[in-house]
Amino acid sequence: MSDFHAELESRLIRYASIDSQSNDDGTSSPSTEIQLNILRLLEAELRDIGASDVQLTPYGTVIATIPGTAAGPTVALLAHVDTAPQFNATGVKPRVIRGYNGGAISFPDNPALSLTPEHNPYLGTKQGHDIITASGLTLLGADDKAGVAILMTTARHLLQNPEIAHPTLRVAFTPDEEIGRGVHSSLPKDLNTDFAYTFDGGAVGEIEYESFSADGAVVTIKGVSIHPGLAKDKLVNAIHLAAKIIQTLPQATLTPETTDDREGFIHATDMTGGASEMTLKFILRDFERDGLAAKGALLQQVCAAVAATEPRAEITCTITPQYRNMRYWLEKDMTPVELARQAARSLGIEPVSVPIRGGTDGSRLTEMGVPCPNLFTGMQNIHGPLEWVSVQDMAQATEFCLALVQHAAKP
């Protein structure tokens, strides 16, 4: 086995130090200009290592080819460059805890913070590893710069070792995954591949081919506005109607905080407005189409019931599809999943497939005709200040990626 540790560590630190947070309010693609900083760096690095057809597309995705050294299906390997908008991502200061001793990890810029194996059992299994975290004030961005570092290291290694047999590979770095806009409508055509993998998963062994099915819902409530001094029998307050809708929806069940495993939920994410007009936003999630439809129907019924109590108000509920469970397509042809499982087993890694309580770029790509399971990188505690990744885990993911592309080669 080659030793990729030093390369992975320096790549992760270099990439994580670049702020590339996405923003749902941005209307361009990528959603934030700053993502172009890392995209342009990766474009240059791909040219430096000798990749072919390197391009930064007008929609902010870097795509390159690693020419095949053997026959076989074209395989695309993807990672996303943006970091989550949910937590501070400016001024990330990655640091390495070398030869982790198994105890609590403290943070130089935030003494109140502590990362412990008691709260993170997976960390407890990483004694002796080199652990990378941020400094306590930001997320780390191993989600998904661990994936980027793994794919760049894999690409560099394959280009330097042409005796390794693999089919044509397409490497892609996407923006805006965290805001659900990573897969541009042109990406399937531009990838020009038989199937794909995202390297955007967690613990070693994770091979995921099931995601949520997801809809978004917007409820608008128009009341009747009038001076409160003259309001008797005239004013209809949208705030009270919004409160009724929230109060009527289930709270002890069907919410993210009360569900797990294969259960879906209705999650109120946003409530804005005033007495004359209110807007409520929801995300609806379920693993199955009928379960998702039932959640949409329940929300519609609650809106209709509250509307019936006040005919002078106008309440609308608009449901918009977001993405669908990738299993619907992958279960028809499990080749990409089976290849990944074989590659993992060839390294003595036991594959684990658990449904993702979320979506990935792979959910959209799969739906658009490019089958795309999600594979492990080692990242943990993502989207917050306790985010960490083990260098040795990233090295295992790199060995796994190399085994995967060799398994895809046809003799």
Q: Does 361 bind Zn ion (CB under 5 A)?
A: no
Question: According to the annotation, is 200 in a ligand binding site?
Answer: yes
For CA atoms 5, 8, 11, 14, give the dihedral sign.
negative
Q: How far apart are CA 337 and CA 359, in angstroms?
A: 17
Assess contact for 382 and 84: CB atoms under 8 A.
yes
Both tokens assigned to 170: 């397409």
Per-residue binding letters, 292-331, with Zn ion (x by CB under 5 A): ----------------------------------------
Q: Any idea which residues carry the catalytic annotation?
A: 82, 177
Instruction: Tell me which residue has tokens 């661990």.
Output: 146
Cβ at position 183, least distance to Zn ion in Å: 13
Give the distance, in angstroms, between the CA of residue 259 and the centroid of all CA atoms in the same chain: 20
Question: According to the annotation, is 383 in a ligand binding site?
Answer: yes
Cβ at position 382, least distance to Zn ion in Å: 7
Alpha carbon separation from 160 to 45, 51, 66, 100, 402 (Å, rounded): 14, 10, 11, 32, 13
* Single-letter code of the amino acid located at 241: L
Q: Which is nearer to Zn ion, 56 or 84 (CB)?
A: 84
Q: How far apart are CA 212 and CA 246, in angstroms?
A: 23
Q: Which is nearer to Zn ion, 145 or 166 (CB)?
A: 145
Assess contact for 201 and 355: CB atoms under 8 A.
no
Residues with Cβ within 8 Å of 319's Cβ and at least 6 positions away in sequence, in order, are 215, 216, 217, 284, 296, 299, 300
Q: How far apart are CA 385 and CA 89, in angstroms?
A: 9
Question: According to the annotation, is 331 in a ligand binding site?
Answer: no
Q: Which is nearer to Zn ion, 200 or 387 (CB)?
A: 200
Instruction: Write a three-state SS string for 229-280.
Output: HHCCCCCECHHHHHHHHHHHCCCCCCCHHHCCCCCCEEEEEEEEECCCEEEE
Contacts of Zn ion in 187-216 (CB under 5 A) = 200
Contacts of Zn ion in 131-170 (CB under 5 A) = 143-144
Cβ at position 143, least distance to Zn ion in Å: 4
Cβ at position 271, least distance to Zn ion in Å: 27
Cβ at position 200, least distance to Zn ion in Å: 4
Cβ at position 144, least distance to Zn ion in Å: 4
Q: How far apart are CA 384 and CA 85, in angstroms?
A: 10
Residue ranges binding Zn ion (CB under 5 A)? 143-144, 200
| Binding-site residue set for Zn(2+) | 80, 143, 178, 200, 383
| Binding-site residue set | 80, 143, 178, 200, 383
